[in-house]
Amino acid sequence: MSPRRNRTNSAADRDAAPAAPPGGSLRRTESYRGEEWVVQTVAGTAGRFYRCPGCDQEIPPGVGHVVAWPEYGAGVDDRRHWHRACWGARERRGSNIQRGRGAPRY
């Protein structure tokens, strides 16, 4: 008996529309706290920790997550890195710790 071979290039796979890369830069606009926010899914960066404002836990390097910032009048300092689940539950819960603008963010 010969070893089993997995099919990798079926006709259905070749004809299907190309899927977005995992963690690719899919940008969209969503509502949060009465404002429109730009939301982008990212794959995660190597060597950088972020702190999620939804659960106040760290997002380790290389973990896919969501970056969100207000659509109007926002700069790089206004971007927040969220766990995907925390961003999805953002209206149902708030962060446990309220940080001021001068407080360190990871």
Give 60-95 pLDDT, tens digit per residue.
999 999 999 998 876 788 899 999 999 999 888 655
- At residue 92's C-alpha, the angle toward residues 72 and 101, to 5°, is 45
User: Quick one: pLDDT at residue 57?
Assistant: 92
- Mean pLDDT within 17-22: 41
Higher per-residue pLDDT: 21 or 48: 48
Backbone φ, ψ for residue 15 (5° rounding): -85, -15
Q: Which amino acid is at 1?
A: M
What ranges do the domains of the chain cover?
Answer: 22-88
For residue 20, is pLDDT > 50?
no
Best CA proximity match to 86, nearest among 32, 34, 35: 32
pTM above 0.75, yes or no: no
> In the predicted model, what is the mean pLDDT of the chain?
75
